[in-house]
Amino acid sequence: MCTPFSGRGKAFAWLPAGLFSVAVLVTPLTFASLLYAADSGDKSREAESSLVSFEIIDNIHSKAIPKSLTGKKGNPKRGEVVMINRKLGNCLACHHLSRFDEKAKALPNKYGDMGEVGPPLDAVAERYDAGQLRLLLVDAKEVFPDTIMPAFYKVKGLHRVLPDYEGKPILEPQDIEDVLSFLLTLK
């Protein structure tokens, strides 16, 4: 009988023992690099021409947009305004943030009714770095292919776009940088 890892298994039975462990290590790596190579056309993709160009870095561990879309730093206070604005980020429709609990009581029109469709944004800067968060904002589907989180900086390949928004991203590049700078305070 052949239980996993209890013996060499049929596939490697022809190998000398020393080589067996090498094969076990190398085979998945080779496979992974083949997959990776197949994907390398995607590796650094230029954004559609109407948008500022950015490069998505895709390594095996994470995908990210390491560089600022505008070359400028974000303003976290403005980022908060973009996030709560229902026509802009509207992040609170899907995300709860404990830091806003007090404000939600005081200003229910702006901060109230925080949703739970997405994970809470508390301490999100401990889970992702700036480049990963930037990509999540630009196009969350790059990270979570089936997500309902909108791509905030994308104009092609979108579904159900309101006529006023056709050809326009939901957020401007500086909005993305401002929201990002706010998210980076969530530690």
Least Å distance between CB 88 and ligand HEC? 7
Site string for ligand HEC, 25-64 (x = CB under 6 A): ----------------------------------------
Options 11, 148, 165, 168; binder of ligand HEC; rule CB under 6 A:
148
- Using the minimum distance from each CB to ligand HEC, give the nearer residue, 58 or 153: 153
**Does residue number 66 form part of the binding site for ligand HEC (CB under 6 A)?**
no
Per residue in 58-78, is it b (16+ CB within 10 Å) or e — as a string? beeeebbbeebbeeeebbbeb
Q: Is 81 exposed, middle or buried (0-12, 13-18, 19+ CB in 10 A)?
A: middle
Enumerate the β-bridge partners of residue 54.
none
The long-range contacts involving 105-114, CB below 8 angstroms and separated by at least 24 positions, are 110/84, 111/84
**Does residue number 127 form part of the binding site for ligand HEC (CB under 6 A)?**
yes
Q: Give the binding site for ligand HEC (CB under 6 A).
A: 83, 89-91, 93-95, 117-119, 121, 124, 127, 133, 136, 144, 147-150, 152, 179, 183
